[in-house]
Structure 1
Amino acid sequence: MNKKIAVLGAGSWGTALAILAARNGCQTLLWGHNPKHMALLTQDHENKRYLPGWIFPENLTITSDLADVSAFCNLVLVSVPSHAFKDTLIKLKTHLSNGLQIAWATKGFNPDNGSLLHEVVADIFSPQTPAALLSGPSFAAEVAAELPTAITIASSQPDFANHLADILHSERFRTYTNSDLIGVEVGGAVKNVMAIAAGIADGLGFGANTRAALITRGLNEIIRLGVKLGGRQETFMGLAGLGDLILTCTDNQSRNRRFGLALGQGKDTAAAIQEIDQEIEGISAAKETFLLAKKYGVDMPITEQTYKVLYEGLTPLAAVQNLLAREQKAES
């Protein structure tokens, strides 16, 4: 294979995707913003901080210089936190704009104004730029361990989605394509809010009944917002909707769920963040989702109570009581 891809973001997920592409025979460049961290990756041939135990293939190289990306290839897969997404693209544009093909595995909204990330890409580059999003139920460590995984690649350009799928697809990593960028983006962002809520409920000592109810009603909230923003309802019943929601709400590999667990167990926000020591996308997503729901008049009670816990000092137990005290209504 004479294929090349640059992965931007050397956290656990970006590293896992770079390893996956390299194992598939693709010449792969992994970029990170911290020169000291990238020097350690070069020295160790391993990301000991974020994805320990997985040695890099020989065709995976490391850099902290975006100029190296433009010299390497024009296919870029971005896996930085949502708050760094826009600035990373702006910096990338100074080095690489002509012929750029861009994909991202970032989940969240643009914190500046709550816009979706494909809108950020279109604003910085152009609406015609080949663009695609990776989403679905996938923990980085399990992808690195080559445990069977299935994800969605969403793009309005089928040829580009198929090209990216060809690079990433393997016997243990199955890729499905989808044309609903909005639905896949909303599902990937808001599921992190629901994972915090599910973690809070478990941290309070509630049981499987509560967790199942939160997941189900949380899915309804995601669908309501996603359809309002232009997504397709059936998308939310797939890998990037229900699949990712179940994963992050039920397994302690999820940082967002662990964060919620800590809050439910009585720890404050700062202590919980320090304990996890990695990006927790659901914190900012809770605020952005809450504001979008208010803007578009979408009823999202779980999101609202999670927002109030994180930003208004509401206690987790009071948030649950507020949800239970809501007026009785029909399910649909």
Structure 2
Amino acid sequence: MSKVAVIGAGSWGTTFSKVLADGGSDVMLWSRREEVASEINNSHRNAGYLPGVNLPAGIVASTDIEKVLAGASQVYISVPSQSLRSNLEQWGKLIPKESIVVSLMKGVEQKTGLRMSQVIAQHGIGEDRVVVISGPNLALEIAAEQPAASVAASSSTDSAMAVAKASTNSYFTTFTNNDVIGTEFGGILKNLIAVAIGIVNGVGYGQNTKASIMTRGLSEISRFAEAFGAKPETMVGLAGLGDLIATSESPLSRNHKAGEMLGQGFSKKEVLEKLSQTAEALVSVSTVLELARDKNIAMPIVEQVELVIEGKMNPKDIAPHLTHMSDTPQGE
């Protein structure tokens, strides 16, 4: 069995460590906190993030980043997107020269507008060694071994295949594609639509409203992704439509939950205080809209979401504005 490293012992990093261990890899998991590492090693639990889940004995946790990275054939990174650059500046040079580096993150860097794979590439990792994993992947369901699928995207078929092989087991299947842009933007943009659906759910609107937002939202985020070079088929695959469906309606989705609280009248500050983990949409919405404006892409749903997040629109007023840009009838 080959050694793989996972950086980040939150819900998704720990869950993916389980996926990899159950697929036959020896996994070393880096935790920022010693008490989390000790619990994983001694009790095979990470109760703060995955309550009730037993972890495989094949996962060994440590706070020693050098020890975790040493000899790893694959390095999976699951840290908050806005801290990726600072993390890589601290330990990026410790990543073995031949290892494949896998992004489990779904966000854009606020200051630069870069996707996570682009930030990784800026730290001396060749494009052919970078892989992105995305799909309809709610951590608690996968940790409970409920069947699910994802996609590994890379410019290198060999790298994508190696990661897909390592991250496939009896309950989790990883497919491959070569559309890194579409796979990443699918995971980033669906969070914004999930917040929109959460808002109208919090207000009390029904399934017609939510279905309208989901379908028009898919059209909106597909236009955006394709303008940046994504393939249309990616946006109706696991990383696009699949992830959108899972995230938009599940109470396990942080972004849906954030939207729901906004719809119930909580402020952005209150939502951030109540959430135990980051809802990426709340920090990426402004950056996404800046990127859209640079390419003259209309994103009416995302624009209304930003107004609600920033307290500039009453959540109850949002639904009539979400699904159209003007009073003039338009083609679908």
TM-score, L = length of structure 1: 0.95
For residues 152 and 25 of structure 1, the distance between their equivalents in structure 2, rounded to whole angstroms, comes to 19
How big is the shift at 1:331?
3.0
How big is the shift at 1:86?
1.8
For residues 295 and 281 of structure 1, the distance between their equivalents in structure 2, rounded to whole angstroms, comes to 21
The alignment status of 1:231 with 2:230, answered yes or no, reads yes
Judging changes above 3 Å, is the alpha-carbon distance between structure 1 residues 263 and 128 closer, same or farther for their aligned structure 2 residues? closer
Greater shift, 191-200 or 55-64, is seen at: 55-64
For residues 18 and 331 of structure 1, the distance between their equivalents in structure 2, rounded to whole angstroms, comes to 46
Judging changes above 3 Å, is the alpha-carbon distance between structure 1 residues 220 and 69 closer, same or farther for their aligned structure 2 residues? same
Counterpart amino acid of residue 304 in structure 2? Q
Q: Secondary structure at the match of 2:149?
A: strand
Counterpart amino acid of residue 108 in structure 1? G
For residues 108 and 223 of structure 2, the distance between their equivalents in structure 1, rounded to whole angstroms, comes to 17
How big is the shift at 1:14?
0.7
TM-score, L = length of structure 2: 0.95
How big is the shift at 1:129?
4.8
What is the correspondence of 1:1-332 to structure 2 with a 5 Å cutoff?
Answer: 2-311=1-310, 313-323=312-322, 326-332=326-332
Judging changes above 3 Å, is the alpha-carbon distance between structure 1 residues 55 and 149 closer, same or farther for their aligned structure 2 residues? same
Runs of 5+ unmatched residues, structure 2: none
Are the equivalent residues in 2 in contact too, given 1:82–1:111 (CA < 8 A)? no
Once the two structures are superposed, residues 83-106 of structure 1 have per-residue CA deviations (whole angstroms, 9 ceiling, x without a partner) of: 122222222223225223100110
For residues 103 and 304 of structure 1, the distance between their equivalents in structure 2, rounded to whole angstroms, comes to 31
Counterpart amino acid of residue 205 in structure 1? G
Greater shift, 268-277 or 197-206, is seen at: 268-277
Once the two structures are superposed, residues 208-239 of structure 1 have per-residue CA deviations (whole angstroms, 9 ceiling, x without a partner) of: 00000000111011111101111011110101
Counterpart amino acid of residue 329 in structure 2? K
Identity %: 34
Are the equivalent residues in 2 in contact too, given 1:108–1:189 (CA < 8 A)? yes
Are the equivalent residues in 1 in contact too, given 2:308–2:315 (CA < 8 A)? yes
Are the equivalent residues in 2 in contact too, given 1:100–1:129 (CA < 8 A)? no
How big is the shift at 1:72?
4.0
Q: Secondary structure at the match of 1:94?
A: helix
For residues 134 and 299 of structure 1, the distance between their equivalents in structure 2, rounded to whole angstroms, comes to 27
Are the equivalent residues in 2 in contact too, given 1:200–1:264 (CA < 8 A)? yes
For residues 128 and 254 of structure 1, the distance between their equivalents in structure 2, rounded to whole angstroms, comes to 30
How big is the shift at 1:128?
4.1
Are the equivalent residues in 1 in contact too, given 2:198–2:257 (CA < 8 A)? yes
Judging changes above 3 Å, is the alpha-carbon distance between structure 1 residues 25 and 315 closer, same or farther for their aligned structure 2 residues? same
Greater shift, 305-314 or 237-246, is seen at: 305-314
Are the equivalent residues in 2 in contact too, given 1:198–1:257 (CA < 8 A)? yes
Are the equivalent residues in 1 in contact too, given 2:152–2:160 (CA < 8 A)? yes
For residues 197 and 220 of structure 2, the distance between their equivalents in structure 1, rounded to whole angstroms, comes to 14
Q: Secondary structure at the match of 2:169?
A: coil
How big is the shift at 1:69?
2.3
Greater shift, 33-42 or 236-245, is seen at: 33-42
Judging changes above 3 Å, is the alpha-carbon distance between structure 1 residues 212 and 252 closer, same or farther for their aligned structure 2 residues? same
Are the equivalent residues in 2 in contact too, given 1:97–1:125 (CA < 8 A)? no
How big is the shift at 1:312?
5.2
Q: Secondary structure at the match of 2:121?
A: helix
Are the equivalent residues in 1 in contact too, given 2:194–2:259 (CA < 8 A)? yes
Q: Secondary structure at the match of 2:94?
A: coil
For residues 32 and 277 of structure 1, the distance between their equivalents in structure 2, rounded to whole angstroms, comes to 16
How many positions carry a matched residue from both structures? 331
Greater shift, 242-251 or 39-48, is seen at: 39-48
Deviating runs (4+, > 4 A) in structure 1? none
How big is the shift at 1:76?
0.2
How big is the shift at 1:171?
2.2
Are the equivalent residues in 2 in contact too, given 1:74–1:96 (CA < 8 A)? no
Are the equivalent residues in 2 in contact too, given 1:102–1:129 (CA < 8 A)? no
